[in-house]
C-alpha cells in the first residue's frame, strides 16, 4: 500500500507563527514524498537516507521510528519494509519531515483499510513533528496534507483564496541548521527589543500580505516579503549564502526575495512577476551558485 504527500513553502511569517502570529504557507507540489509498505519479516526502512532495520536506525530517525511504532500499535498491522522515496530536499525548510510523516500515515491507513480524515492525519503529522522539534506551530503539518494555501495562526486556520498569477523561484542554499536550533536561537532572544520589534513587523507584514494576496497585488506582497526578510535578518536567521542568493534574485528582476522556513540555511524564495523573469532569476542562481532551484506558479 502506498501514501504520498507534497512539500510546503512558507511565503511569509516563519518564526513569528511560533509565537501566535499569522503566517501564509503554500503547497510545494514540485516536491513529493512517497511511502510504500511491503510485507516483511521484520520492520525495516529502505530509503535514500537510511537502509536497515527500524531498531537499528540512529537518533536522526527517532521521530519516524516512533511514528511507525505508534502506527503499528494503533492499527495492529505490520511488520513492513517501509520504502521511502522523496524529491523534497531534507532539512531545507520545504516540509520534508512533515511530508515523510504524512506519506507514512496515509500508507498505513490505506493498508489497514481504515478511513483517515484530514483532522486525524493532521494530528498524526503534528505528533511526529513534535518529536522532531520542540514546539512546531503546525503550519508544516497542515500545508503538506492540503492542496491549497493557508492563512494560519495556531488558533485559527483559514484557507487562503486568491490568484496572484505570479511565480516563485525556490533555491536551496545547501546549508543546513535543524529547525529546532533555529527556533531555539529565536527563543533565546525573547524579551529583547530586537525580538519584540521583529515580531511586530512580521505580524503586520503577514496581515498586509493576506490582503495583497487576495487582491493579486504583487507589488505590495513583494514589499511585505522584503520587510519580513529584514526582520528575520535582525534575528540572526540569515547566512552569507542566503544573503547572496537574495541579492542575485533581486538583481535579476525578482520583486522580493527572502528565506523560507527555519532559516540559518535552507531555502530562499524569490517572487517574480512572470515566467521570463523567473527563468532569468533561476539561471542566474544556478550559474553563480550551482544551486538546486525550482520554479513554481502561485
Of the ranges 7-15, 81-89, 196-204, 269-277, which one interacts with ligand PMV (CB under 6 A)?
A: 7-15
**172 lies in the binding site for ligand PMV (CB under 6 A):** no
User: Of 78 and 262, which has the nearer Cβ to ligand PMV?
Assistant: 262
**14 lies in the binding site for ligand PMV (CB under 6 A):** yes
Among 3, 7, 12, 15, which residue interacts with ligand PMV (rule: CB under 6 A)?
15
Among 256, 262, 264, 277, which residue interacts with ligand PMV (rule: CB under 6 A)?
262
**218 lies in the binding site for ligand PMV (CB under 6 A):** no
CB of 31 to ligand PMV, least distance (A): 12
CA–CA separation, 85 and 36 (whole Å): 9
**264 lies in the binding site for ligand PMV (CB under 6 A):** no
By CB under 6 A, how many residues form the interface with ligand PMV? 16
Q: Which of 114, 169, 185 is CA-nearest to residue 298?
A: 169
Q: How many residues does the chain have?
A: 298
Among 5, 11, 17, 35, which residue interacts with ligand PMV (rule: CB under 6 A)?
17
User: Of 25 and 256, which has the nearer Cβ to ligand PMV?
Assistant: 25
Task: Name 157's bridge partners.
Answer: 152
User: Per the structure block, which three cell numbers stand in for 225?
Assistant: 516579503
**183 lies in the binding site for ligand PMV (CB under 6 A):** yes
User: Of 22 and 136, which has the nearer Cβ to ligand PMV?
Assistant: 136
**208 lies in the binding site for ligand PMV (CB under 6 A):** no
Among 31, 78, 136, 265, which residue interacts with ligand PMV (rule: CB under 6 A)?
136
281 CB-near residues (< 8 Å, 6+ apart): 169, 248, 249, 252, 253, 254, 270, 272
**139 lies in the binding site for ligand PMV (CB under 6 A):** yes
Of the ranges 136-144, 205-213, 217-225, 286-294, which one interacts with ligand PMV (CB under 6 A)?
A: 136-144
Of the ranges 155-163, 227-235, 259-267, 282-290, which one interacts with ligand PMV (CB under 6 A)?
A: 259-267
Of the ranges 13-21, 108-116, 162-170, 212-220, which one interacts with ligand PMV (CB under 6 A)?
A: 13-21
Backbone region of residue 76 per phi and psi (left: phi > 0; alpha: psi in -120 to 50; beta: other values) = left
Among 18, 168, 201, 246, which residue interacts with ligand PMV (rule: CB under 6 A)?
18
**82 lies in the binding site for ligand PMV (CB under 6 A):** no
Residues that bind ligand PMV (CB under 6 A): 10, 14-15, 17-18, 93, 95, 136-137, 139-140, 179, 183, 261-262, 266
Amino acid at each position: 500500500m502506498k501514501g504520498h504527500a507534497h512539500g510546503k513553502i512558507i511565503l511569509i511569517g516563519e518564526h513569528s507563527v511560533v509565537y501566535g502570529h499569522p503566517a501564509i504557507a503554500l503547497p510545494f507540489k514540485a516536491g513529493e514524498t512517497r511511502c510504500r509498505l511491503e510485507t516483511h519479516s521484520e520492520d525495516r526502512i529502505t530509503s535514500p537516507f537510511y537502509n536497515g532495520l527500524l531498531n537499528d536506525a540512529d537518533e536522526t530517525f527517532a521521530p519516524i521510528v516512533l511514528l511507525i511504532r505508534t502506527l503499528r500499535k494503533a492499527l495492529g498491522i505490520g511488520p513492513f519494509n517501509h520504502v521511502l522515496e522523496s524529491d523534497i530536499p531534507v532539512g531545507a525548510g520545504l516540509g520534508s519531515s512533515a511530508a515523510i510523516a504524512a506519506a507514512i500515515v496515509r500508507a498505513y491507513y490505506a493498508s489497514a483499510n481504515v478511513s483517515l480524515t484530514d483532522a486525524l492525519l493532521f494530528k498524526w503529522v503534528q505528533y511526529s513533528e513534535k518529536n522532531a522539534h520542540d514546539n512546531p506551530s503546525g503550519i508544516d503539518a497542515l500545508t503538506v496534507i492540503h492542496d491549497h494555501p493557508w492563512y494560519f495562526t495556531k488558533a485559527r486556520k483559514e484557507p487562503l483564496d486568491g490568484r496572484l498569477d505570479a511565480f516563485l523561484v525556490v533555491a536551496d542554499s545547501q546549508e543546513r541548521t535543524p529547525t529546532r536550533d533555529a527556533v531555539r536561537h529565536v527563543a533565546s532572544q525573547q524579551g529583547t527589543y530586537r525580538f519584540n520589534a521583529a515580531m511586530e513587523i512580521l505580524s503586520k507584514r503577514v496581515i498586509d500580505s493576506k490582503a495583497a494576496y487576495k487582491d493579486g497585488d504583487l507589488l505590495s506582497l513583494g514589499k511585505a516579503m522584503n520587510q519580513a526578510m529584514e526582520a528575520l535578518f535582525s534575528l540572526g536567521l540569515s547566512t552569507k549564502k542566503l544573503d547572496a542568493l537574495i541579492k542575485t534574485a533581486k538583481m535579476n528582476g525578482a520583486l522580493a526575495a527572502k528565506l523560507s522556513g527555519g532559516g540559518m540555511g535552507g531555502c530562499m524564495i524569490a517572487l517574480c512577476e512572470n515566467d521570463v523573469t523567473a527563468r532569468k532569476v533561476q539561471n542566474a542562481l544556478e550559474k553563480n551558485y550551482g544551486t538546486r532551484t525550482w520554479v513554481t506558479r502561485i
